[in-house]
Amino acid sequence: MESLALGGPANPQERPSVPVYLYVTVLSSFCIIVGLIWDISWHMSIGRDGLFSAPHLAIYLGGVTAGLFSGYNVLKISFAGTAEEKGRSVKFWGIFYGSLGNLFCIWGAIAMLTSAPFDDWWHNTYGLDVTILSPPHTVLLLGMIIIQFGAIISVLAYQNLESGTESIAGMKRFGILYALSSGFVLGMTYTMASEYLGRHEMHSVLFYQISCFLFPLLLSAYSVSSKSRWGATQACLVYSVFMMAMGWILPLFPAIPRLGPVLNPVTTFQPFDFPLLVVVPAIGIDLITQRFSSINRWLLALFYGVCFFVLFIAVQWPFANVLMASNGHWFFGTSKWYFGSDPNWEYRYAFPPWNLNSSMDWAIGIPIALVIGTLAARIGISWGHWLKRIVR
């Protein structure tokens, strides 16, 4: 557990394959995303929750666990570490030493714990949230995603340090942990933007512009920084499997609305959205990385941006029609409906006209989406190369 913060012992033969700290950090990231999706389902199915509702406890468990383990590492190195150990750590506030992943997890845990009483006060004052990004939720989401980035940085720092000295089995475990941590961040990012990425928006220009900002940024970074040839694809598979599993498991449990008006009586938890088909453009991005990783970074970013947009719209556009099939389907979670919404709404299984665009809108919007995707990919490439150099 101490090896990450220390940068590892001097003798590579003494290093454990994967320290317990990495497992704990990735598990914390998992608890956070499970609690978040569960909490959204709770609001859709039950309504008002308490500060210590089950989904909140899952979120807090992830944050507190990551914060405590990271805090222990920092205190251990700061006050009982050797000069070599401190030299391989990041110094902050003049007296403390720890890994960059430790710092991210501590900062994220503080933000999460700060948001909890703020969110409870907000509900008591203003009632039920109507958006995901309310002020207290924004603070909470910021803390959660910081911890999840801390998990990514922790795994990569240790993996980069161990490069060339680890067994094949050890490197595979690092690869699995990186796929899990990066996939959870992908799920978190999608959830934060889900108000603009729902099935009713999938035939709109804005849907693809937002997608071209979020996903090329992450997928290009994952593809560049991963030791695997399929870093972006593996992250998308984790994201997709996780989101589908949550969508299938939650409806197995009973739930009854506790707020009115109840326009749509439900008896089970309503699932969250089916994952976007980003795994298809992720495969394209990984193939580009394998063949063109050494070319000019701007040209590589252009390849990433165009690849993502073309492949994503090619699969997501027709798939949106599947999601809009009459009466929905349990497999895709499209039969869900918020208890406070009219189940007979005429656009429940149709694209509302205000989310459809003219040919002129598309003629203007597509080049903008491509530019956004290219710029996002360029940032992601730089971020990915930075991740490859982290060893603290």
pLDDT tens digits along 323-340: 998 788 889 999 899 998
Q: What is the pLDDT of residue 15?
A: 47
Asked whether 220 and 65 are in contact (CB, 8 A), the reply is no
Does position 79 have pLDDT exceeding 90, yes or no?
Answer: no
pLDDT in tens, 130-179: 555 567 667 777 888 888 888 888 888 777 765 554 555 667 888 888 99
Looking at the fold, whether 184 and 209 belong to one and the same domain comes out as no
Mean pLDDT of the residues in the chain: 85
Lowest-confidence range among 1-10, 191-200, 229-238?
1-10
pLDDT digits (tens, 9 = 90+) for 82-103: 776 666 677 777 778 777 778 8
pLDDT in tens, 194-221: 989 999 999 999 999 999 999 999 999 9
For the beta carbon of residue 348, count every other beta carbon within 10 angstroms.
18
Query: In this structure, are 22 and 162 located in the same domain?
Result: yes
Mark whether 217 and 319 lie in a shared domain.
yes
Same domain assignment for residues 118 and 219: no
Q: What is the model's pLDDT at position 301?
A: 97
Model confidence band, residue 388 (pLDDT cutoffs 50, 70, 90) = confident
Are 172 and 204 within one domain? no
280 and 137 housed in the same domain:
no
- Please tell me whether residues 173 and 263 are part of one structural domain: no
Q: Note whether 160 and 58 are same-domain residues.
A: yes
pLDDT, position 170: 60
User: Cβ(181)–Cβ(26) under 8 Å?
Assistant: yes
Residue 168 shares a structural domain with residue 239: no
Q: Read off the pLDDT band of 16 (50, 70, 90).
A: very low
| pLDDT greater than 90 at residue 3 | no
Write the pLDDT tens digit of every residue in 43-66. 899 986 677 788 888 988 988 888
State the average pLDDT over residues 255-267: 88
- pTM of the full structure: 0.86
Q: How confident is the model at residue 12 (pLDDT cuts 50, 70, 90)?
A: very low
pLDDT of amino acid 169: 60
Q: What is the pLDDT of residues 179-199, one digit of tens each?
A: 999 999 999 999 989 989 999
CA-CA distance, 304 to 283, in Å (whole number)?
11
Q: Could you say which of 192, 213, 241 is where a domain stops?
A: 192
Query: Which is more confidently placed, 123 or 375?
Result: 375
Tokens (6 digits) for 34: 């499970």
DSSP string across 120-142: HHHHHHH-S-SSS--HHHHHHHH
Q: Is the separation of the CB atoms in 48 and 86 below 8 Å?
A: no
245 Cβ neighbours under 8 A, 6+ residues apart: none
**Same domain, residue pair 2 and 118:** yes
Cβ neighbours for 165, distance < 8 A, ≥ 6 positions apart:
12, 15
Structure-block tokens of residue 197: 């990425």
Give the pLDDT confidence score for residue 47 in this predicted structure: 82
At 251 the pLDDT is 94
Kindly report the number of other CB atoms within 10 A of residue 52's CB atom: 10
Last-in-domain residue among 159, 192, 225: 192
Domain tally, the chain:
2
Q: Check residues 10 and 377 and name the one with the higher pLDDT.
A: 377
Q: Considering 150, 175, 192, which residue would you say is the last residue of a domain? A: 192
Is the domain of 180 the same as that of 258?
A: no
**344 and 227 fall within a common domain:** yes
Cα atoms in the 13 Å half-sphere on the side-chain side of 317: 11
What pLDDT sits at residue 149? 81
Domain range enclosing 137? 1-192
- What are the C-alpha distances in Å from 57 to residues 49, 112, 161? 12, 12, 34
Query: Above pLDDT 70, what percent of the chain?
Result: 85
Q: What is the pLDDT of residue 284?
A: 97
CATH number at residue 210: 1.20.1450
